[in-house]
A and B are shown apart, each in its own frame.
Chain A
Amino acid sequence: MKHARMALLFLFAAGAVLAEAPKVLAVRNARIVTASGPAIERGTVVVRGGLIEAVGASVAIPPDAWVIEGAGLTVYPGFTDALSTWGIPKPADGGVARRPAPVARGPEDRPSNTSWVAAQELVHPQDKTIERARNAGFTSAVVFPTTGLFAGQGAWLNMAGEKTGQMLVASPVGQYLSVRTQGFTSFPGSLMGAFAYIRQVYLDADHYRAAKEMHEKNPRGMRRPEYDRALEGVLQSPRALLPAATKVELERMVRFGAELKRPVVLYGGHDAARAMGTIQASAFAVLVSLQWPERAKDANPDIEDSLRTLELREAAPGAPAALAKAGVKFAFYSGGVEKPADVRAAVKKAIDAGLSREEAVKALTAYPAEIYGVADRVGTIEPGKIANLTVVDGDWFQEKAKVRMVIVDGVKYEPVPEAEEKEK
């Protein structure tokens, strides 16, 4: 048995490289957490041509399938990082040597705005973070450019492929916004400047669209609207991602988000329990960062944290449970957590704080798909959906659970021991 698996591993590994992966796969006798209904305690998943063909307790294994013996394994829908930069190479200098931006004198200069940049244009399929993501059990990530106030457009990307085109599942899925300003000599130079700027750009975008439509209808006698790539990017984005971690930020962003008259997704979410009434009323989804706030390792021992800071650290891992209880749609994102073991440990903290395992799985699978409007193709184990699966020895939430393999677009990958991880 073990030999058979090893042999398969060899074949598949080679196959992935040569793009000659078997067309049909079947995992049998495994526990299957479908995320669309109750778990199947002992069942089979059949994958064909990159899609899930069948799933159930008594599914016939097609004669042409490569069979994976799944006893003792759990099959989950492929885990997804709901807001990620995986696959985008980090600048070699850490971004220090960035060209200084020209001084902006107002919103019309479109400062700190690359709204038209699409994540798939920045991703390198060979970036090492992609393999690392697979090793941690992640088959997908919703990748965003994250530099600037209007950083750019996100894409739902599968974490495998020789070319970016093969990785892409959906794009654009949203506009990443931040309110981080740099210095005070260029507009916007303050938090309220950032708000005013974002508000003006959205107003401008609506005006631009109206002008274009009017011109398109009857160009004669109307001066053509001036092309504005920053507004094009905003108009292309189906939703706006707004940063909000603390209670005040969450309440503030709910107010602001409502003004934009567009679908809004909040990211951060740590203080959600204290702002729940407001969040519930807004019907906005919340992406919860798995980078839980904690005391920095090198914190100055003489500096006391405020009680508010201490309370937030204490409360943050409870945010997902509170969101689930309140019926608010939420999903997890790595938020800078990179090591596979740390991702699981972070999710475990949310479970220890009251989140059910079912909800935890959904927050990594079905919910991100729903939030980004791609639940018709990914997020659960159902026939016809993309064959993204995370296969774990035992249960992923157990202390020593190991990711046995991930299947991305129907292609199997096994984690490789990470030498470079160990030395960190």
Chain B
Amino acid sequence: MKNVIQLIAVVASAVTVLPGADLVIQNAKILTVTKGSLDGSVRISNGKIADVGQKLMIPAGARVVEAAGKYLMPGIVDCHSHIAADSINEGSVSVSSMVGIEDVLNPEDVDIYRALAGGVTTANILHGSANSIGGKCAVIKLRWGKNVGAMLFEGARPGIKFALGENPKRRGAAPSPGAAALRYPATRMGVEDVIREAFTDARRYQADWKEYESKKSRGERMLPPRRDLKLEPLAEVLEGKRFVHAHCYRADEILMLLRLADEFGFKIRTLQHVLEGYKVTNEIVAHGAGASTFSDWWSYKVEAYDAIPFNATLMHKRGVLVSLNSDSAELMRHLNQEAAKTIKYGGLSEDEALAMVTINPAKQLAIDSRVGSIEAGKDADLVLFDQHPLSNYSKVEKVFVDGELLFDREHDERERVRTQLRKKALEEKQRKTVTSRRPA
């Protein structure tokens, strides 16, 4: 099975719609998410949504996708993913802000194609949670078949991962009785201390540069400060140029972080997981943080015991900007179903439910002017489902990124056999090569 999927992946990169010509997806049930639903058409021009309406003129030369009875929704945005990267955790240090996902993006990771097949078109790729302050994140478009540089979501504000609780303090404990601990911290208090110290250093670093700039402007001879790749991203956080995405579980640690950020004068952009967020919604709203959580995943470790499936809806109803994320290459393939759970747990409307995996995460990443809903002027990142995406019987049929058809179920199914044959042929050939060159 695994191999079959890998095969599909390779073949599918060949599927493209000619650029230049307009594309019209017609007679679909269009779920715009922000502007209600309608039966109609979407015209795509130069990778953007040019027009949305019940009756659209089809320009001469345009290609048409007939979508009668099918559902078109905006590409899903996953605010927390670890696919498409060749390493995730720099676990050796408690502050690993010098590392970044962008350096290790792998556009050939087959999980990209699998996520695409689940309707995801944009993802926030985060560093792991082994450190109080982790590495830099990368917001990517799932442009399957393109190269490293083309993956990055142009203009997206950079982010950084923080982590609280069990994961970052785990390595502070001695691995065996009598052995030395691998590193500090070992407690939640220690995690707070690490973050506080790092930002104290970052302030000093900012001051050093300020002093240098002012002396330089006065014409004084002075060596510029050493550039410190660990402190630079933290200075950017202090200056509001970099978003903080903080992994957290318990209410107490959430409050700790919000207060610490207030003290240093920066914002937490999103609380990630935030399974006890429902206990501290007022404080989250007051700080202005978003929340990106799981639908109904719980109890997989002690700090997840108090999770409830109503978390997303309770936070949403109190005014928190909430998204549902995957944090998993598997879950990433059916985020539409995760969204549907907010209807069962908390009675959200269909639009509110879909927003949890489209416009809300787009807002959290400040890319909502480009993606997250079907509106004229936005990127043509669209998913065509055979049934309503909130039904767990629905299947993704086509996925467009920037107007380019990057997943097509029919094409995929057709190509599987051919790819399988190609693989068998190569296997046999290479087995022979080895045997003939080096007789046993």
Contacts and interface: CB of A to CB of B under 8 A. Distances in A.
Nearest to A104: B92
B86 interface: yes
Contacts of B107: 248
Given A196-B98, A196-B229, A305 B427 contact: yes
Contact of B223 (A210, A306, A345): A210
Interface in A298-352: 304-308, 310-311, 313-314, 345
A193 B434 contact: no
Contact of A192 (B99, B183, B228): B99
Contact of B86 (A188, A191, A305): A191
Given A195-B99, A251-B147, A310 B430 contact: yes
Nearest to A305: B427
Given A189-B92, A313-B430, A308 B108 contact: yes
A106 B100 contact: no
Contact of B103 (A203, A247, A252, A311): A252
Contact of A294 (B422, B427, B433): B433
Interface in B126-154: 127, 135, 147-149
B103 A256 contact: yes
A183 B14 CA distance: 38
A104 B127 CA distance: 20
B87 interface: yes
Given A106-B230, A310-B426, A214 B223 contact: yes
Contacts, number: 142
A106 B106 contact: no
A255 B230 contact: no
A304 B427 CA distance: 9
Nearest to A217: B221
Contacts of B434: 294-295, 297
A295 B127 CA distance: 33
A204 B227 CA distance: 7
- Chain A interface size, as a band, is 35 or more
B92 A191 contact: no
Contact of A200 (B86, B229, B437): B229
Interface string B397-425: 00000000000000000000001001100
B229 A251 contact: no
Contact of B87 (A192, A214, A308): A192
Contact of A304 (B3, B90, B101, B148): B3
B172 to A, nearest CB: 12
A207 B90 contact: no
Contacts of B257: none
B6 interface: yes
A211 interface: yes
Contacts of B437: 345
B89 interface: yes
Interface in B70-104: 85-93, 96, 98-101, 103-104
A307 B7 contact: yes
Contacts of B106: 248
B344 interface: no
A278 B148 CA distance: 10
A394 B426 CA distance: 35
Given A193-B90, A294-B430, A306-B6, A204 B226 contact: yes
Contacts of A275: 147
Contacts of A164: none
B85 to A, nearest CB: 8
A192 B426 contact: no
Interface in A383-406: none
B423 to A, nearest CB: 5
A184 interface: yes
Contact of B91 (A104, A190, A196, A305): A190
B182 interface: yes
Contact of B99 (A190, A256, A297, A310): A190
B427 A192 contact: no
A207 B229 CA distance: 13
Contacts of A210: 223-224
A15 interface: no
A204 B98 CA distance: 14
Contacts of A308: 6, 10, 108
A107 interface: yes
Contacts of B87: 190-193
B101 A192 contact: yes
Contacts of B230: 106
B301 interface: no
Most buried by A among B88, B127, B226: B226
Given A255-B149, A305-B427, A307-B422, A207 B226 contact: yes
Nearest to B419: A307
A90 interface: no
Contacts of B438: 297
A42 interface: no
Given A196-B98, A196-B229, A188 B426 contact: no
Contact of A184 (B3, B91, B127, B422): B91
Interface in A247-270: 247-248, 251-252, 255-256
Contacts of B218: none
B286 to A, nearest CB: 35
A206 to B, nearest CB: 9
A341 to B, nearest CB: 11
B328 to A, nearest CB: 20
Interface in B104-118: 104-108
Interface of B: 3, 6-7, 10, 85-93, 96, 98-101, 103-108, 127, 135, 147-149, 171, 182-183, 221, 223-224, 226-230, 419, 422-423, 426-427, 429-431, 433-434, 437-438
23 contacts: A184-B89, A184-B92, A189-B89, A190-B87, A190-B99, A193-B87, A193-B92, A196-B98, A196-B100, A196-B103, A203-B226, A204-B226, A207-B227, A211-B223, A294-B434, A295-B433, A297-B434, A304-B427, A305-B427, A307-B419, A308-B108, A313-B426, A314-B429
Interface of A: 103-107, 184-193, 195-197, 199-200, 203-204, 207, 210-211, 214, 247-248, 251-252, 255-256, 275, 278, 294-295, 297, 304-308, 310-311, 313-314, 345
Closest 4 pairs (CB-CB, A-B): A189-B92, A191-B87, A195-B103, A190-B87
